[in-house]
């Protein structure tokens, strides 16, 4: 949920006195991929595989509870929403409440018929971001176990039905493909190509040479990391 946790029971649809307009939900901890820096793989001992029960979602995600809500964002740190056992029932309910949906997904392990059904429930007000970190030869370097044919099937089914986004996290192994991927996104009918400059490099993933092997050139690293590094330099300079 944007802004933090749920407000107190006496302030339905509000958080610290302000109206709640966006909900960010993780409805499942299920995922088929093995991305090496995902929380589910970096800290597997913390993982419990389960879904938020459908009755709970139906009773919670209502206009009565959130009168000012604009959209529901289905994304997660441990799971991918499309693997919830009742995903289609969940989004049908959300749409029945007149709410817009934003979905971020790796797009794998669902067939074309499944995506066609998804497209029939959603509309152009909804946004689906397919997380595709490269082209067919590089996407699986980080998105381990991803299936390119499934992702392309999702894109084909969704284009024209939703606002379709190609979400591309820049790594060293895919930075040379940005221009080609941008052109490919246009050819496939994506509405937007979104580059993600991450700051999650170095730290415990540095190699023997002190360099994170996945870290791209500096121009593709988030300013957040450069700012943090400069702050540390200043602190050290001042003793």
pLDDT tens for 221-235 read 887 656 666 667 777
Residue 148 φ/ψ region, left for φ over 0, alpha for ψ in the -120 to 50 degree band, beta for the rest: alpha
Residue 8 has pLDDT above 60, yes or no: no
- Cα separation of 147 and 114, whole Å? 15
Residue 24 has pLDDT above 80, yes or no: yes
- List residues bridging with 168 in a β-sheet: 195
pLDDT at 12: 60
pLDDT tens for 151-172 read 999 999 999 999 999 999 999 9
The CA-based diameter of the chain, rounded to the nearest angstrom, is 62
3-class secondary-structure state, position 182: helix
pTM of the model: 0.86
CATH dotted code for 14-237: 3.20.20.70
pLDDT at 38: 87
pLDDT at 2: 41
Residue 34's pLDDT band (cuts 50, 70, 90)? very high
Tokens of 126: 């909804």
Residue 39 has pLDDT above 50, yes or no: yes
**CB-CB neighbours of 65 under 10 Å:** 15
Which of 57-61, 190-194, 209-213 has the weakest average pLDDT?
Answer: 209-213
For residues 203 and 24, the model is more confident at: 24
Q: For the chain, what percent of residues have pLDDT higher than 70?
A: 89
pLDDT tens for 116-136 read 999 999 999 999 999 999 999
Q: By C-alpha distance, which of 64, 52, 7, 55 is closest to 25?
A: 52
What's the CA angle centered on 194, arms 221 and 43, to 5 degrees? 60
pLDDT at 1: 36
Residue 17 has pLDDT above 60, yes or no: yes
């Amino acid at each position: 949920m944007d802004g933090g946790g749920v407000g107190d029971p006496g302030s339905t649809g509000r958080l610290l006195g302000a109206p709640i307009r966006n909900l960010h939900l993780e409805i499942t901890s299920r995922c088929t991929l093995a991305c090496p820096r995902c929380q589910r793989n970096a800290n597997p001992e913390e993982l419990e595989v389960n879904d938020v029960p459908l009755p709970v979602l139906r009773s919670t995600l209502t206009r009565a509870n959130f009168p000012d809500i604009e959209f529901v964002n289905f994304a997660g740190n441990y799971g991918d929403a499309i693997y919830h056992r009742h995903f289609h029932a969940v989004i049908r309910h959300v749409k029945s409440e007149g709410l817009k949906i934003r979905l971020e997904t790796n797009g794998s392990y669902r067939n074309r018929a499944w995506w066609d059904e998804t497209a029939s429930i959603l509309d152009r007000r909804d946004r689906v971001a397919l997380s595709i970190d490269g082209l067919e030869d590089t996407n699986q370097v980080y998105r381990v176990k991803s299936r390119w044919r499934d992702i392309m099937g999702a894109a084909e089914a969704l284009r024209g039905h939703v606002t379709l986004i190609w979400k591309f996290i820049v790594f060293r192994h895919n930075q040379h493909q940005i221009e080609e991927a941008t052109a490919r996104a246009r050819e496939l009918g994506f509405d937007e190509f979104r580059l993600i400059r991450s700051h999650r490099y170095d730290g415990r993933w540095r190699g023997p040479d002190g360099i994170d092997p996945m870290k791209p050139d500096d121009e593709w690293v988030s300013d957040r990391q450069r700012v943090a590094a400069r702050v540390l330099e200043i602190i050290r300079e001042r003793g």
